[in-house]
A and B are shown apart, each in its own frame.
Chain A
Amino acid sequence: MQKQDWLLVYLSLPSKSKMDLIDPIRIMKGLFLFKMEFKEVLEDFYDYKPYFYGPCSFEIYKDLLSLQLEGLVDSYSQPLSRWSYYRLTEKGQERASILIKDVSLELLAQLKVIKIKVTSLSFLDLLKEIYKKYPEYAQNTMIRFGGIL
């Protein structure tokens, strides 16, 4: 499995978001948590660096763009909305269902749990949890979770 395949599989899994639309922060964070838990078994996966909002992979943005160009992913944005939202197209769903066959049941189950979790939490609670568990990725953050938030 290549890293882009993992992105497609992640997008295909159920979430707590409305209409299965997911924002890039929750894509980024879900795949990060998956990587941190299973880095020993993941051969080709996204690199993350500490950024303003914790772990960030610029490659994920790049891949979301190329998957859109391939017609596998759709992006939705509304005027004044803070980010774009992503969802698999029918073609993307078909590709993901083929890829899922190569994923072990254990990894798939864990990835599902992670996606449900990251789509259940607010942005700030999600960041807070990740910063607590992986403080090395919080060093460039613009938000310090001290006594205020």
Chain B
Amino acid sequence: MTLIISLACKDGTILASDGQATFFSIGGPIRRTISKVKRLGEYKLWAASGTVGMIQKIETVFNNLPKEILNAPLTEPQLRQAILQNAHVLRVQELQRHRSLHGQGRDIEAGVADLLIVEYQGNSRIWHINPDCVDESLEEFGYGVSGSGDVFAHTLLKNFKIKELSVEQGCLIAYRVLRDAIDIGAFGLGEPIDIWVIDNSGVKQKSQPEMFALRDSYGIWMEAEEATFTNLLLKEIKKPPNPTSQK
């Protein structure tokens, strides 16, 4: 289970995820800590939700792409075509394998990979490829999400004007969304939160001290929200009626 968030900020792109993956064993699902955000060439990042085995196959495909394709901008048709074609082949192979075992009526149980690929080269780009290899560009909306916790993310992210924010501010929002989803107990989501940034200075993963600073900023933010609610809304509700307005 996974939650991946990408934010298209005014000066960079963020890709962030929770840190838990569910592996399947005969005895039952096993949870393990993993890093889900990975580099794609020098200027891009990607992450995926879905079946671990399918995501690993996608990673192998990415690792075998020629360097000039890997480092091409996300707008480059050759890059998009190479990725989509490979993802399609993997999807078809997986469906064939699954159907050979379970028949056609249970396709929904076949392995899947839902991908977010992001870059920043003067502009943020968020490219989403769904498990059936239908793709869409999401930078226009300011964010993209993937994974079983995506409803939490949509609910929280709709309140922010992401494209007007700096990447630093975006990192705090990404932290909050992931932290809230984990705290609420969305099944299979867990620490550690991992946040990566692409901006004009390159690709960078937030360090542990930086993550602590985000955690504490989130704490202060929650304190401020509580205080705002108490001081502004509750006091307003309790305020006695204005005698001059009474008949």
Contact = CB atoms under 8 A, between A and B. Distances in A.
Given A24-B212, A142-B172, A148-B228, A82 B217 contact: no
A61 B209 contact: yes
A25 interface: yes
A83 B219 contact: yes
B220 interface: yes
Nearest to B172: A52
Contact of B215 (A28, A83, A122, A127): A83
- Chain A residues touching B, range: 20 to 34
- Chain B residues touching A, range: 20 to 34
B218 interface: yes
A149 B231 contact: yes
Nearest to A82: B219
Interface in B215-247: 215-224, 227-228, 231-232
A124 interface: yes
A123 interface: yes
Contact of B227 (A23, A56, A62, A149): A149
Nearest to B211: A61
Contacts of B183: 80
B210 interface: yes
A52 B231 CA distance: 22
B209 A53 contact: no
B212 A143 contact: no
A13 B60 CA distance: 55
Contacts of B169: 142
Given A52-B172, A53-B216, A83-B215, 10 more contacts: A52-B220, A61-B209, A62-B208, A82-B215, A83-B216, A123-B223, A124-B223, A142-B169, A142-B221, A142-B224
B30 interface: no
Given A58-B209, A148-B232, A143 B216 contact: no
A143 B224 contact: yes
Interface in A13-44: 23-25, 28
B213 interface: yes
Interface in A87-124: 122-124
